[in-house]
Amino acid sequence: AVLQFTGGTTGFPKAARLTHANLSANATQIALWASDAKLGQEKILGVLPLFHAFGMTAVMNFGIRIGAELILLPHFKTAEVMAAIDRERPTIFIGVPTMFSALNALRDIDKYDLTSLNFCISGGAPLPSEVRRQFEETTGCTLVEGYGLSETSPVVTINPLTGKTKAGSVGLPLPGTVITIVSTDNPGQVLSVCERGEICIQGPQVMAGYANRARENIEVFEGGHLHTGDIGYLDEDGFLFIVDRIKDMIAVGGFKVFPSQVEHVLLQHPAIKEVLVIGVPDEYRGEVPEAYAVLNEGENATGEELAAWLNGRIGKHERVSRVVLRD
């Protein structure tokens, strides 16, 4: 049904082959999770881009699956989102942590009526506990965190919408989903409760494989399950916690940024000899890329000039906060 392009676990863009069954299953899994959602009576506010696996499934396909009205906005602007909630009365809002952080920061939030919201789901990047607490306190609406990746259509886990949740956890596996934690040194070794290792997934939402990538498919499906490249653990209650990433992916407001791709662009500048891009903490977007560079002998470009040159050639979410020159 979809060739969903992603950097996957290697940083090199590949097309995840998501079948009709994958997409149908994932929308149904979310519908089963949101068991209180009333068929044909819900309204979902959609601000996530529908070309992204999260928006495609959690907003569009899930919304259609439960017969919800879709209230679509072309981009995220805090005041416009608030006005839409006040005016259109959505019952469900699905977004990334950056969005909820921005809504929390709105000074005149009290002038908007947000009581129509029944629950909100955050994904795409880690949700700070303070952002969740403040949003729930302000709106009276439940906000839970989930986890997924393009290769899984994309949703794998969500915290319960009612009952027990755990701070810092991305939740429990969706129906029909099996999560296994394996050793990063020995992928055949399954780890015990609370032991940290690579997160592996089996379920009806797992892709058919990468298009035209035979070698990568052998590696990513080693042992019969999907290797995510993420490090985490399952606690005694089956809640999943993400603690690290095997690769150097940077999560910027819900979008994946791969340092190798940004480095490739910056290396095309004639003044650049060497470059390294890393993720640094950012209060609003979670992380932002930052570049460190060495100039070729005789070059005198400034960090500001290089940042402006680079940021004009890459995606908005890939833009670096600065370029730091080093010897």
Query: pLDDT tens across 185-202, in order?
Result: 899 999 999 999 999 999
Q: What is the mean pLDDT of residues 92-105?
A: 93
Sorted by sequence, the CB contacts under 8 Å of residue 32 that are 6+ apart come out as 174, 175
Q: Which residue, among 281, 22, 19, 11, has the nearest Cα to 176 in the 3D structure?
A: 22
What local confidence, expressed as pLDDT, does residue 128 receive?
A: 84
User: With 90 as the cut, is the pLDDT of residue 231 above it?
Assistant: no
Q: What is the mean pLDDT of residues 302-308?
A: 97
The pLDDT tens digits for 101-140 are 899 989 899 999 999 999 999 998 888 888 899 999 989 9
What local confidence, expressed as pLDDT, does residue 107 receive?
A: 87
User: With 80 as the cut, is the pLDDT of residue 72 above it?
Assistant: yes
**Given pLDDT bands bounded at 50, 70 and 90, which one contains residue 9?**
low
In angstroms, the CA 73 to CA 299 distance is: 46
Sorted by sequence, the CB contacts under 8 Å of residue 108 that are 6+ apart come out as none
What local confidence, expressed as pLDDT, does residue 238 receive?
A: 97
Sign of CA dihedral 80, 82, 88, 94: positive
